[in-house]
């Protein structure tokens, strides 16, 4: 049986829930949410590795409409964030609108009916608008390693942690030194017989300072909403100020790099190890990490740092690019995610029979980081050029959702078609803004840049304020009618 809705949202993580909140606030109640997993939560449902936590302050990493006075500290643990999202879903009363264990198998634009036809394993759903809120850190990136299948012990990706595997007392190898690895390595070092850490390239790491909130503080946040709002505003301002050091401002970057270098020197006494842990690229080129525990763990006898990549496996022998060999009983791949090529894109077919994956064959493009030419009435949240390296991605999601709602409300029953020229111009804006930043010329390889085109396709090269202002300037001229080529203009709304 085919069910028809005004809006279909794919995904029930931060982006999906953020879109649902925006729709309900606008009085649009005829929507459905499809989530392939058994619960809401997105990346915070999937990532359950030891030590998983957020590196954005908790009171900034939540919806403005759903403040949470009960965060345990400045930074939230992964389980806390998952519980928060489950509470948001409950408080929003999603009820029958939320369909769990329901994966999108295909989404095709029906040009004659002017709607989206979405196929799941049990039914077809039609909707006037399609919102892809699928996330960008969902599909693990598994490296191609010679002999990987020959490894006899437990082996899994950090985002698919096997809790049935008891790693206590085992020799554990970890591949990667990104955000997940620096959280889980100290935890493994406490219980494993030994940890061998394979590092392709080191990260710039600054102090975390993860202070807990007292019972009195949490009670005050709950009883004084204005105080909680002031804290969020302060954290927002601090985040916006961090943009300078991440984006290449010479003075700000030098000061932040000095902080990172002093942090390394204070926690790693051995000069050779310090050198191996010192990046050879500009500050901000890769994601800057926060930890007070990683360096002490690596400097301890519990961890051996191999400062080169894992290249091959022969049974329980792991061979590095340097030629060194190590024995291991278990292998954890903290190797990141498919980012520049989004897995959901091949499932979506637009107006001219082109898949979104084909449209993005040379890297993701959009207008406003949200709408895509050739895909009418479709919105992508947390997709092309919507990530941040300095603050909370939830802030971007809220702006995108507001922009999508403005388009839906103003188009009424019509069709929003993105002008290809507007998409090209926006992509050029991004490239020009990014050209001289560390992400492009900082001497590193990062997941923000698409290897096929060399363009910055994941990161927004500006502040949250700048993104809000850019979407506020979108007056509707980014949309055209494909039959008459006349602009489908709308009133300019608030940001």
User: Looking at residue 495, what is its pLDDT?
Assistant: 28
- For the chain, the domain total comes to 2
User: Looking at residue 410, what is its pLDDT?
Assistant: 81
What average pLDDT does this structure show over 237-254?
A: 98
Q: Going by C-beta distance under 8 Å and a sequence separation of 6 or more, which residues neighbour residue 478?
A: 367, 368, 371, 418, 419, 422, 423, 426
Report the percentage of the chain scoring pLDDT > 70: 97
Q: Are residues 154 and 99 in the same domain?
A: no
Tens of pLDDT, residues 93-127: 999 999 999 999 999 999 999 999 999 999 999 99
pLDDT at residue 483 is higher than 70: no
Q: Are 297 and 185 in contact (CB under 8 A)?
A: yes
Q: Last residue of a domain, which of 290, 306, 333?
A: 333
Q: Are 202 and 278 in contact (CB under 8 A)?
A: yes
Q: Are residues 314 and 353 in the same domain?
A: no
Q: How far apart are CA 174 and CA 305, in angstroms?
A: 10
Q: Look at residue 310 and give its three-state secondary structure.
A: strand
Q: Are residues 166 and 297 in the same domain?
A: yes
pLDDT band at 490 (very low <50, low <70, confident <90, very high): very low
Which residues are bridge partners to 174 per DSSP? 197, 332
Tens of pLDDT, residues 363-395: 999 999 999 999 999 999 999 999 999 999 999
pLDDT band at 148 (very low <50, low <70, confident <90, very high): very high
Long-range Cβ pairs for the range 423-427 (8 Å, 24+): 423/365, 423/366, 423/367, 423/372, 423/373, 423/478, 424/365, 426/365, 426/366, 426/367, 426/368, 426/478, 427/365, 427/366, 427/455
Q: Is residue 230 part of a domain?
A: no
What average pLDDT does this structure show over 55-83?
A: 98
Q: Are residues 360 and 452 in the same domain?
A: yes
Among 199, 157, 156, residue whose Cα is nearest residue 178: 199
Q: How far is CA 218 from the centre of its chain?
A: 28
User: Looking at residue 489, what is its pLDDT?
Assistant: 38
Q: Is residue 456 part of a domain?
A: yes
pLDDT at residue 250 is higher than 50: yes
pLDDT band at 195 (very low <50, low <70, confident <90, very high): very high
Q: Last residue of a domain, which of 333, 368, 387?
A: 333
Task: Read off the tokens for 328.
Answer: 């291991």
Number of H helices and E strands in the chain, helices first, is 14, 18
Of 129-143, 364-378, 461-475, give the lowest mean pLDDT range: 129-143
pLDDT at residue 271 is higher than 60: yes
Q: How far apart are CA 96 and CA 111, in angstroms?
A: 28
Task: Read off the tokens for 136.
Answer: 């960008």
Q: Going by C-beta distance under 8 Å and a sequence separation of 6 or more, which residues neighbour residue 178?
A: 203, 287, 289, 334, 336
User: Looking at residue 488, what is its pLDDT?
Assistant: 39
Among 235, 284, 293, residue whose Cα is nearest residue 263: 293
Q: Is residue 482 part of a domain?
A: no
Tens of pLDDT, residues 284-311: 999 999 999 999 999 999 999 999 999 9
Task: Read off the tokens for 199.
Answer: 């590092």
Cα Rg, the chain, nearest whole Å: 23
pLDDT band at 20 (very low <50, low <70, confident <90, very high): very high
What is the model's pTM?
0.94
Q: Is residue 412 part of a domain?
A: yes
pLDDT band at 339 (very low <50, low <70, confident <90, very high): confident
User: Looking at residue 1, what is its pLDDT?
Assistant: 59
Of 10-19, 198-207, 306-315, 336-345, give the lowest mean pLDDT range: 336-345
Range of the domain at 394: 2-139+338-472
Q: Are residues 67 and 81 in the same domain?
A: yes
User: Looking at residue 481, what is its pLDDT?
Assistant: 65
Q: Are residues 429 and 310 in the same domain?
A: no
Q: Are residues 104 and 177 in the same domain?
A: no
Q: Is residue 241 part of a domain?
A: no
pLDDT band at 47 (very low <50, low <70, confident <90, very high): very high
Write down the mean pLDDT value for the chain: 94
Q: Are residues 123 and 168 in the same domain?
A: no
Q: Are residues 12 and 36 in the same domain?
A: yes
Q: Are 419 and 425 in contact (CB under 8 A)?
A: no
What CATH number is given to the structural domain containing 301?
A: 3.50.50.60
pLDDT at residue 482 is higher than 90: no
CA separation (Å) from 374 to 121, 294, 412, 424, 479? 26, 46, 19, 13, 11
User: Looking at residue 217, what is its pLDDT?
Assistant: 97
Q: Are residues 154 and 61 in the same domain?
A: no
Q: How far apart are CA 392 and CA 65, in angstroms?
A: 15
Q: Is residue 211 part of a domain?
A: no
Q: Are residues 198 and 286 in the same domain?
A: yes
Q: Are residues 381 and 367 in the same domain?
A: yes
Tens of pLDDT, residues 406-454: 999 888 778 999 999 999 999 999 999 999 999 999 999 999 999 999 9
Q: Which helix (H) or strand (E) holds 143?
A: none
Q: Last residue of a domain, which of 275, 306, 333?
A: 333
The helix, strand and coil proportions of the chain, stated in percent and rounded to the nearest 5, come to 35, 20, 45
Q: How far apart are CA 129 and CA 134, in angstroms?
A: 15
Q: Is residue 481 part of a domain?
A: no
Q: Is residue 390 part of a domain?
A: yes
Q: Are 77 and 56 in contact (CB under 8 A)?
A: no
pLDDT at residue 493 is higher than 60: no
Among 21, 14, 24, residue whose Cα is nearest residue 393: 14
């Amino acid at each position: 049986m085919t069910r028809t809705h005004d809006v279909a949202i794919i995904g029930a993580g931060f982006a999906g829930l953020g879109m649902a909140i925006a729709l309900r606030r606008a009085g649009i109640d005829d929507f459905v949410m499809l989530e392939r997993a058994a619960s809401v939560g997105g990346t915070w449902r999937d990532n359950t590795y030891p030590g998983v936590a957020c590196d954005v302050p908790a009171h900034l990493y939540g919806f403005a409409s759903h403040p949470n006075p009960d965060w345990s500290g400045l930074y939230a643990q992964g389980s806390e964030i998952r519980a928060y999202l489950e509470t948001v879903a409950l408080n929003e009363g999603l009820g029958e609108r939320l369909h769990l264990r329901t994966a999108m198998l295909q989404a095709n634009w029906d040009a004659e009916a002017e709607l989206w036809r979405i196929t799941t394993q049990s039914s077809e759903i039609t909707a006037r608008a399609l919102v892809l809120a699928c996330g960008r850190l969902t599909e693990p990136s598994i490296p191609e390693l010679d002999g990987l299948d020959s490894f006899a012990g437990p082996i899994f990706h950090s985002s698919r942690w096997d809790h049935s595997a008891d790693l206590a007392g085992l020799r554990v190898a970890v591949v990667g030194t990104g955000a997940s690895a620096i959280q889980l390595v100290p935890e493994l070092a406490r219980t494993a017989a030994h940890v061998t850490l394979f590092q392709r390239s080191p990260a710039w790491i600054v102090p975390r300072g993860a202070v807990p909130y007292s019972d009195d503080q949490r009670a005050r946040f709950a009883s004084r909403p204005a105080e909680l709002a002031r804290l969020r505003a302060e954290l927002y301002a601090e985040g916006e100020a961090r943009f300078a050091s991440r984006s290449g401002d010479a003075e700000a970057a030098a000061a932040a790099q000095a902080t990172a270098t002093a942090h390394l020197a204070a926690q790693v006494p051995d000069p050779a190890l310090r050198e191996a842990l010192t990046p050879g690229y500009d500050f901000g080129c890769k994601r800057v990490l926060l930890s007070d525990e990683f360096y002490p763990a690596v400097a301890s006898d519990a961890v051996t740092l191999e400062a080169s990549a894992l290249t091959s496996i022969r049974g329980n022998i792991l061979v590095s690019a340097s030629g060194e060999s190590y024995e291991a009983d278990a292998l954890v791949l903290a190797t990141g995610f498919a980012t520049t090529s989004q897995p959901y894109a091949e499932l979506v077919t637009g107006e001219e029979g082109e898949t979104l994956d084909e449209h993005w064959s040379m890297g993701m493009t959009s207008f406003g980081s949200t709408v895509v030419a050739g895909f009418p009435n479709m919105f992508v949240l947390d997709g092309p050029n919507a990530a941040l390296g300095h603050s909370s991605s939830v802030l971007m999601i809220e702006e995108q959702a507001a922009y999508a709602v403005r388009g839906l409300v103003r188009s009424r029953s019509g069709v929003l078609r993105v002008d290809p020229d507007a998409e090209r111009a926006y992509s050029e804006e991004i490239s020009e803004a990014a050209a001289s930043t560390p992400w492009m010329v900082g001497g590193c390889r990062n997941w923000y840049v698409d290897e096929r085109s060399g363009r910055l396709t994941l990161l927004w090269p500006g502040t949250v304020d700048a993104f809000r202002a850019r979407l506020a300037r979108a007056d509707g001229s980014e949309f055209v009618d494909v039959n008459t080529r006349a602009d489908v203009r709308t009133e300019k709304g608030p940001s």
